[in-house]
Structures are given as C-alpha cells and as structure tokens.
Amino acid sequence: MLVMIKSGGAQAMPAWREAFANALPEADVRCWGDPGVPPEAVRYALVWEPERGALARFPNLRMVISTGAGLDHVLADAHYPHGVPLARMILPETRDGMAEFVAMGTLMLMRDMGTVARNQAARRWQTMPFTPLARRTRVGVMGLGALGLHAARYLAGMGFEVSGWSRSPKSIAGVASYHAMANLPVFLRRADILVNLLPQTADTVGLLNRQRLSMLPRGARLLNAGRAGHVVHEDLLALLDEGHLGGALLDVFEAEPLPPGSPLWTHPGVIVTPHCAATPSRADRAHRAAQLIRLAEAGAPVPDLYVPARGY
Ligand code: NDP
Ligand code: OXD
C-alpha cells in the first residue's frame, strides 16, 4: 500500500519512514513528488498544505489525512477530489499540547509577560501594581471541539472563570456555554481573555474584526491559536493602539514564517509565537495515521473525518 507524504520536505522523510516502519510496516512510504511513483499507485496521502490540484492527480486515492488538526490548508484546494474522505489528525498529544499552550499563554497575558520580556531586553525595572489572579479572570474559549473543550476544562481546573462558544449547544461542568452567532456578543462581553480555537471555515473567517473585538471588555486580551484568518489584524492593532485591548498572543499567521516586515513582530502589545501551540511528534502522527489507514482498509468507520455540511 503506497502512502505519499507531504510534510516537512525531503529532510523529514527518514523520520517518517522510521515511524511508519514501526506503525505500519506494510506501507510503502514515498516522498511527495517522487518521480518513480505512478499516480495510480497512490492509495493514501498524508499532507500539510498540498499544492492546488495535486491530490486530484491520484485516481485511486482512498483517503487523505491532514498532518494537522485543521483542514483549511487542504480545503483551500478547489480541485480537491470530492468523494475522497479527508481525515484530520487529532491525538491526545495535540489536545494536551494545546491545553498546556493555552494555559501558558493565558497566564502570560494575564500577567503581562510580554511587557516584562520587553522590559528585560531594555534593562528596565517596572513592577506591577498588584498580582492578578486566575479566579478573578474570565476566559472565553471560542470553539469547544477536540481542542477547545479540553483547553476550557484545563483552564477551569486552574481556577479561571471559563465560558465557551460553539456552533451547537453544550453542557460542560464548570464552563458556562454559549452557542450560535446570536449569543456571540454576550459571550464576548464577559471575556477578559479571549482564546480562539475555532476552525477556519466560510462562517468563521474574519469573525474577530473591529466590531466583535470591540465587544470585549476594555483592557481584554486575545490569544489566537486557531487560524490567522479569524482575526483582522489591522483592527486588532488599531484596538491595541487605542487602548481598548490590552495585549495579544498570536501563534498563527497569514504568511508563515511571519515576514520580517510585519508590524506584529514589533508591536509592544503583541507576543508572537511560531505556530508551535500543538505539534505532535512525527512518530505519534505516523502511529495515528496508521490507525486511520487500518480502519479504512478494513472498511470500518474512520473517526475525525471532514463533514462538508459543517465545513469542518
Ligand atoms: P473541532 O472541529 O474539533 O472543533 C471546532 C469547534 O468550533 C467546535 O466546538 C465547533 O462547534 C466550533 N465551531 C465551528 N464553526 C463554528 C461557528 N460557525 N460558530 C461557532 N462555533 C463554531 O476542531 P479542533 O478543536 O480539533 O481544532 C480547532 C482548530 O485549532 C483547528 O481547525 C486549527 O485551525 C487549530 N489548531 C491550531 C494549532 C496550532 O498549533 N496553533 C494546532 C492544532 C489545531 P460544535 O461543537 O458545535 O461543532
Ligand atoms: C494544526 C496546526 O492544524 O498545527 O494541527 O495548526
């Protein structure tokens, strides 16, 4: 069974091959673009940002697996071969990594650690007037799926006052839940720190614009680990400059690596992290891909599949 991989480039192939040798020894693992592979031989594709039209060239494709949890980087391809199941990569390591990143980022924003780091770089000693506490800080988590739900529970366990927002209604112990666009304003109005963990879809792109970010309480902070397309960055920077927002931690960007000329690098209210919130190891991802492939080969239901009607 031939598995084509596009993730990490040629230099990542030894690690992928070693991981698949353990997880799925029967797989013939090939690097994307390998000229020795006839397109009809490709049965599975494990991909991150495949070129537009590339997947449509494999006529016998059984399933495409994203090496990440998000599927927007595959669905951006208008020529995606419809009818071929598309699975996303959700592992316990993704959930735990994201929850820990969100916990770290929320605490950093709450305690204004971006300013502290900048002060250190300038050898400036500036104390804080008082210590903010988790139990006095309201965090709103946008997206209560595999990652958002786990992160919301994690934050609640740390003592934060947590609420969440999703498409469908939820009942989660310790997390006040809101759903649907109609309830977005009331959710936003009670978030001192807003954590975005939505998938990027036609309904969520551009959601965090001036109008919505202005609904947050004055001084609120934003942690974006969903997708850059959710946030209108010019609006974010303007609201930071105007003092309506108190800071932002951004992990995802329209262009990655973030270009050196981007104002986000140097804005005093912004902490930039290099899309590192939750990236499981290649060994863990190969193991999960092997599980999904085995289920597909057995004709059994495959979990974590894209649902076109929802857009995620
Ligand atoms: P899921 O698909 O499991 O969950 C999505 C959540 O968003 C659900 O709660 C869903 O609602 C909600 N949602 C979707 N559309 C809407 C809408 N229009 N209005 C309100 N709520 C909506 O996704 P994951 O939790 O697995 O992942 C979320 C995203 O995190 C990924 O798509 C990816 O972009 C990002 N990510 C970022 C990483 C990083 O390193 N920065 C790493 C991994 C993922 P409902 O529950 O009702 O379905
Ligand atoms: C993902 C990501 O989607 O890393 O997994 O962004």
pLDDT 10s digits, 144-174 = 999 999 999 999 999 999 999 999 999 999 9
Q: What percent of the chain has pLDDT over 70?
A: 100
Question: Which pTM was predicted?
Answer: 0.98
Q: Tell me, what CATH number does 264's domain have? A: 3.40.50.720
Which residues, in sequence order, are bridge partners of residue 178?
165
Among all bound ligands, the one having the nearest atom to the CA of 227 is 1
Q: Is residue 153 part of a domain?
A: yes
C-alpha atoms less than 13 angstroms from C-alpha of 144 in its C-beta half-sphere: 23
Residue tagged active-site, from 227, 233, 267, 288: 227
Q: Which atom of ligand 1 is nearest to the CA of 179?
A: 20
pLDDT surpasses 90 at 211: yes
Q: Is there a single domain that holds both residue 69 and residue 185?
A: no
Domain count, the chain: 2
C-alpha atoms less than 13 angstroms from C-alpha of 230 in its C-beta half-sphere: 22
Q: 299: which residues sit within 8 A by CB, 6+ positions away?
A: none
Q: Are 238 and 214 in contact (CB under 8 A)?
A: no
Q: Is the CB of 311 under 6 A from ligand 1?
A: no
Q: Are 267 and 238 in contact (CB under 8 A)?
A: no
Residue tagged active-site, from 179, 244, 275, 294: 275
pLDDT at position 147 is 98
Q: Is residue 79 part of a domain?
A: yes
Cis peptide before 257 (omega within 30 of 0): yes
Q: What are the tokens at 208?
A: 């965090």
Q: Is there a single domain that holds both residue 214 and residue 240?
A: yes
Name the residue at shortest CA distance from atom 2 of ligand 2. 68
Handedness of CA 11, 12, 15, 16 (dihedral sign): negative
Q: Is residue 152 part of a domain?
A: yes
pLDDT at position 295 is 98
Q: Is there a single domain that holds both residue 125 and residue 171?
A: yes
Q: Is there a single domain that holds both residue 156 and residue 237?
A: yes
- Tell me, what DSSP letter sits at residue 208? B
CA distance 262 to 256: 11
> Which residue has 């090939």 as its token pair?
30
Q: Are 42 and 67 in contact (CB under 8 A)?
A: no
Q: How confident is the model at residue 111 (pLDDT cuts 50, 70, 90)?
A: very high
Q: In what order do the strands lie in the sheet with 86-87?
A: 28-31, 2-6, 42-47, 63-66, 86-87
Per-residue pLDDT of 113-136, as tens digits, reads 999 999 999 999 999 999 999 999
pLDDT at position 301 is 98
Q: What DSSP line would sit under 51-82, residue for residue?
A: PTTTGGG-TT--EEEESSS--HHHHT-TT--T
CA distance 276 to 256: 12
Taking every pair of Cα atoms in the chain, the longest distance, rounded to a whole number of angstroms, is 66
Per-residue pLDDT of 80-109, as tens digits, reads 998 999 999 999 999 999 999 999 999 999
Q: Is there a single domain that holds both residue 142 and residue 265?
A: yes
Whether residue 275 lies in the annotated active site = yes
pLDDT at position 34 is 97
Which residues, in sequence order, are bridge partners of residue 235?
none
Per-residue pLDDT of 181-204, as tens digits, reads 999 999 999 999 999 999 999 999
pLDDT at position 67 is 98
Q: Is residue 288 part of a domain?
A: yes
Q: Is the CB of 164 under 6 A from ligand 1?
A: no
pLDDT at position 82 is 86
Question: Could you tell which of 88, 279, 284, 306 is best to mutate to test the pocket of ligand 2, judged by most ligand atoms within 8 Å of the CB?
Answer: 279
Q: In what order do the strands lie in the sheet with 175-179?
A: 175-179, 161-166, 138-142, 193-196, 220-224, 245-250, 270-272
Q: Is there a single domain that holds both residue 263 and residue 143?
A: yes
Q: Is there a single domain that holds both residue 66 and residue 142?
A: no
82 versus 28: the higher-pLDDT residue is 28
CA distance 185 to 179: 11
Q: Is there a single domain that holds both residue 268 and residue 251?
A: yes
pLDDT surpasses 90 at 210: yes
Average model confidence (pLDDT) for the chain?
98
In terms of residue numbers, what domain contains 244? 93-272
CA distance 26 to 8: 22
- At 107, the amino acid letter reads L
Q: Is there a single domain that holds both residue 61 and residue 185?
A: no
> Which residue has 């595959």 as its token pair?
74
Q: Is residue 308 part of a domain?
A: no
First to last CA, the chain: 28
CA distance 3 to 122: 51
Q: Is the CB of 197 under 6 A from ligand 1?
A: yes
Q: Is 288 exposed, middle or buried (0-12, 13-18, 19+ CB in 10 A)?
A: buried
Q: Is residue 234 part of a domain?
A: yes
Q: Is residue 105 part of a domain?
A: yes
Q: Is there a single domain that holds both residue 233 and residue 133?
A: yes
pLDDT at position 85 is 98
Q: Is the CB of 279 under 6 A from ligand 2?
A: yes
Q: What is the mean pLDDT of residues 55-84?
A: 97
Q: Is there a single domain that holds both residue 55 and residue 134?
A: no
Q: Is the CB of 229 under 6 A from ligand 1?
A: no
Q: Is there a single domain that holds both residue 147 and residue 223?
A: yes
Q: Is residue 77 part of a domain?
A: yes
